[in-house]
Structure 1
Amino acid sequence: MNLEFYKYQGTGNDFIIVDNRSELFPKKDTKINSKISKLCERHFGIGADGLILLEKCKGYDFNMVYYNSDGREGTMCGNGGRCTVDLAKYLKIFERETTFLGFDGVHHASVEVDNKIKLQMKNVQEVKKRDGFFLDTGSPHYVVMVDDIYNYPVKEKGRIIAHLEPYGKKGTNVNFVEQNGNNSFFVRTYERGVEDETLSCGTGVVASAISMFHAQQTKSKNINIITRGGHLNISFKIDNNGGYHSIFLKGAVEKVYQGHLFGF
């Protein structure tokens, strides 16, 4: 089987994306998880933090299916969503604005005048305090502030926290945050399913921005986040019950290259 794929990155968070509107991708193959894992492996495969399928979806422009680099189907991926939106525009599925379905429900997105992708994320109704903060932004995230973030042992500390008992069998993503301005923060993220630090995490920076506002570290509802892979902007509004809505994640993406999977 010869399948075309696109390699994308959004602030260093990289993905293999397949246009699966023809339904040729072998999702029901009993070995599909190990095959995806091999594709995402950086020495023997293409290399990526995850694999995404862009599929047809009745009532929406498309459906996004996300797999972690370990081959297991994951939850919502913010940077992956932004990359998939850019591919959908490249494939002429839409022009400037789109509505699509992800793991966590309906998402709206637009291509801004600076060609950055602005993606609406799911509402957040609750932020739990557990030494740090725990919340769901499409994927579960734990957020904690640290000092000297550039030298912080993210992988070692993240692996321990991610699989603690309160977060269940699937675990949680872990974000380490340090403030570097009134409405600016540096974030490093340990991602479950990747089981390592990634250069950026979309749902993670959203969780971090909301947590920092919730912790009164900033009064701004428009927050800039710096990751090892680049800069992202998060904006949101607050409802009468203290929940967060109209949450938008904005940043640049890049189609790095495209190729073909032979004998997949």
Structure 2
Amino acid sequence: MRIMSAIHFYKYQGTGNDFVIMDNRKGEYNFLTEEQVKFLCDRRFGVGADGLMLLNTQEGYDFGMKYYNADGRESSMCGNGGRCLVAFARQMGLKNEKLSFLAVDGPHEATLKGDSWVNLKMQDVNGVEIGSLYSYLNTGSPHFVKFVDDVQAVDVYTEGRGIRYNDRFSKEGTNVNFVQPLEQGIFVRTYERGVEDETYSCGTGVTAAALMTAGPEQKEYVIPVQTLGGNLEVRFTKTGERSYNNIWLCGPATLVFEGNITLP
């Protein structure tokens, strides 16, 4: 493995979902290996994060998003990660009122309110699998959604891991969300594949959970969402029995710190 001098990184968080980010618009970090990404995300020996992102140059867009899970593998869309990367792009000098970027699941657009509130447009959802005790849908990443009476009483690690590694999902993996309806909105806790543990928040997960709270009416919805790491809001329009568009994930995204680290 090559020996590298210190590299410069930034750490951002969105409702406790935290990420190592690097400005890769000149291709400086294309060399990163799975083991190096895993090292950077390690909470004891590296920086510590749920994932790592590269801000890339992308023709036709303000930037491109490349996302890796904490296990070092490139992964599907991360909603809170996307919001954090938008905030980072603004810090790196991309000042357009509306920013557009390309992620693994397709194009996204985003707006910023103040210094730290990011509104991120998600992909449309057309089709939801409805089981007797669950829903299963893709909001950029696959999500299993289960409603419970007391989300704080759920053993998210054990129950979530059991579903993520069952016969149905073990090969490709799924994220698992436990959702409690509140007087205003919902409380969501998520077991994330790739992290293989509960995270403080999951953007695509709260999006999936919010969509599943919609009533039969085809109209615009605004769903407040509580997570262990803070509050988010999901806005969307229900356009059919199992179809949704104009989906926006809205919430804070802030710089935690920046620094230098030497890779192994």
Give the shorter-chain TM-score range: over 0.9
Q: CA contact under 8 A between 1:127 and 1:211: conserved in structure 2? A: no
2:7 to 3, 9, 13: 3
Q: CA contact under 8 A between 1:2 and 1:263: conserved in structure 2? A: yes
* SS class of match (1:48): coil
| 2:167 aligned residue | 165
Q: CA contact under 8 A between 2:87 and 2:116: conserved in structure 1? A: no
Per mean C-alpha deviation after superposition, the further-off stretch among 172-181 and 235-244 is: 235-244
| 2:223 aligned residue | 223
- Residue 163 (structure 1) shift: 2.0
Matches of residues 216-255 of structure 1 in structure 2 within 5 Å? 221-240=221-240, 242-255=242-255
| 1:37 aligned residue | 38
Distance 1:228 1:56 in 2: 33
- Residue 95 (structure 1) shift: 3.1
- Residue 164 (structure 1) shift: 2.1
| 1:144 aligned residue | 146
Q: Once superposed, what is the RMSD of the aligned Cα atoms?
A: 1.8
Which AA in structure 1 matches 2:88?
L
Which AA in structure 1 matches 2:47?
I
Q: CA contact under 8 A between 1:179 and 1:185: conserved in structure 2? A: yes
| 1:211 aligned residue | 212
Q: CA contact under 8 A between 1:53 and 1:66: conserved in structure 2? A: yes
Which AA in structure 1 matches 2:50?
D
Distance 2:240 2:179 in 1: 27
The size of the alignment, in residue pairs, is 258
Aligned sequence identity (%): 45
Q: CA contact under 8 A between 1:238 and 1:245: conserved in structure 2? A: yes
Distance 1:157 1:263 in 2: 35
Matches of residues 24-103 of structure 1 in structure 2 within 5 Å? 24-27=28-31, 32-103=33-104
Write the deviation string for residues 189-212 of structure 1: whole angstroms up to 9, x where unpaired. Answer: 000000000000000000000012
Q: CA contact under 8 A between 1:61 and 1:94: conserved in structure 2? A: no
Summarize the Cα distance change of 1:43–1:67 in structure 2 as closer, same or farther, 3 Å threshold. same
* SS class of match (2:100): strand
TM-score normalised over the length of structure 2: 0.93
Q: Which ranges of structure 1 fall in alignment gaps of 5 or more residues?
A: none
- Residue 263 (structure 1) shift: 4.4
Distance 2:202 2:82 in 1: 11
Summarize the Cα distance change of 1:151–1:75 in structure 2 as closer, same or farther, 3 Å threshold. same
2:20 to 4, 12, 16: 16
Distance 2:29 2:169 in 1: 32
Query: Which consecutive aligned stretches of 4+ in structure 1 deviate over 3 angstroms post-superposition?
Result: none
Write the deviation string for residues 106-146 of structure 1: whole angstroms up to 9, x where unpaired. Answer: 00000025741000001000111123000000000000011
Q: CA contact under 8 A between 2:220 and 2:236: conserved in structure 1? A: no
Summarize the Cα distance change of 1:82–1:243 in structure 2 as closer, same or farther, 3 Å threshold. same
Distance 2:143 2:261 in 1: 33
Summarize the Cα distance change of 1:53–1:249 in structure 2 as closer, same or farther, 3 Å threshold. same
- Residue 3 (structure 1) shift: 2.0
TM-score normalised over the length of structure 1: 0.93
Q: Which ranges of structure 2 fall in alignment gaps of 5 or more residues?
A: none
Distance 1:177 1:102 in 2: 27
